Amino acid sequence: MKLKEIYNSNKPIISFEIFPPKAQNTDELNQKINDLFEELRILSEFNPAFISVTYGAGGSTRETTLDIVTKIKNNMNIQPMPHFTCVGSSRGDILEYLKKIESAGIENILALRGDPPKGETKFVKPVDGFGYANELVEFIKSNTNLSIAVAAYPECHMECCSLDQDIENLKRKIDNGADVAITQVFYDNNCYFEFLEKTQNKGINIPIIPGILPITSYSQIERISTLSGCKLPDELSQKLAENKDDSEAIKQIGIEFAVKQANELLKSGVSGIHFYPLNKAFAVKTVLENIKTEQRV
């Protein structure tokens, strides 16, 4: 089922993002993949419409991503959605991979510019490749029948000069063929609501799906805040700081906040929520057990 059909629903859509595990050897990788699928089986109880699978910088997990995507489709009977980036790929490389995806029966893809490979600080456009996600979207749209999702940044992409400019960048991706946008993690719903208003004023009318990552450790949220620039509401930030040495308290605070955040988003009428479980089921499972998914307006 393609993204347009998935989000043409009276109920909010639940989806997840996972990433291919890294390992020193094949045996270790296979074990980690088996462990990942045990976590996914727990999350599958919540009937996700799809599971997206990230794609390592420079294509470092390209084949593992495809293997996991195929296994989700064939063994779990859940729609998978591979990520794909511009990093390190020529047009020929991209087309070859897209055809592999289609031949595996995959219908959806998340198109991203991508981050620079490890050790590099600046994105470099590949030879005969693309420098921006909107160019990749246009190429996918012109050469495949895949339905395309893209990323959105309610608090502005860290490399962009302003939120207004970032929204113009999002509009280019949509004008070139994107069907759905999924947001980067955020913790202040007001940022998301204000972002929606701004995008609607620019004529953007595709679903913009909020992304939620329940906080489960203090070091985790410090790292995420640094990498993404997401802001924490003052009350949440204070609670986390006061309990930073108590790991169980941090999990409880993070999960309770994610429940509150998700319920507020659902009450506002969002088309769905995309959860980032970081390959572990516990936190997202607990959140989903405590939210009201029938709340879509």
CA-to-CA distance for 125 and 295, rounded, in angstroms?
Answer: 43
Tokens representing 79 are: 């729609």
Q: What is residue 226's predicted lDDT score, i.e. its pLDDT?
A: 85
Residue at 297 is within a domain: no
Rounded CA-CA distance 190/76 in Å is: 36
Instruction: Answer yes or no: is 296 within a domain.
Output: no
pTM value is 0.93
| Cα separation, 173 vs 159, whole angstroms | 17
pLDDT band at 187 (very low <50, low <70, confident <90, very high): very high
239-261 pLDDT, tens per residue? 999 999 999 999 999 999 999 99
Residue 46, both tokens: 């919540």
Give domain status of residue 241, yes or no. Answer: yes
CATH number, domain containing residue 270? 3.20.20.220
Cβ atoms of 242 and 236 within 8 Å: the answer is: no
- The whole-number pLDDT of residue 117 equals 60
Give residue-wise pLDDT tens across range 91-139: 898 899 999 999 999 999 999 987 666 656 676 677 787 878 999 999 9
Q: Is residue 228 part of a domain?
A: yes
Both tokens of residue 62? 């390209």
- Chain-wide mean pLDDT for the chain? 91
Residue 143 belongs to some domain of the structure: yes
Q: Give how many domains the chain has, as a whole number.
A: 1
Residue 95 lies in a domain: yes
Give domain status of residue 167, yes or no.
yes
* Mean pLDDT, range 150-179, rounded to an integer: 93
Full domain range(s) for residue 18: 3-291
Q: Can you tell me the mean pLDDT for 150-167?
A: 91
Residue at token pair 């988003």 = 265
Categorize the per-residue pLDDT at 57 as very low, low, confident or very high, splitting at 50, 70 and 90: low
The CA dihedral of 47, 194, 82, 19, to the nearest 10 degrees, is -80
Question: What integer is the mean pLDDT of 185-196?
Answer: 97
31, pLDDT greater than 90:
yes
pLDDT band per the 50, 70, 90 thresholds, residue 297: very low
Catalytic residues: 17
Q: Is 88 in contact with 59 (CB distance < 8 Å)?
A: yes
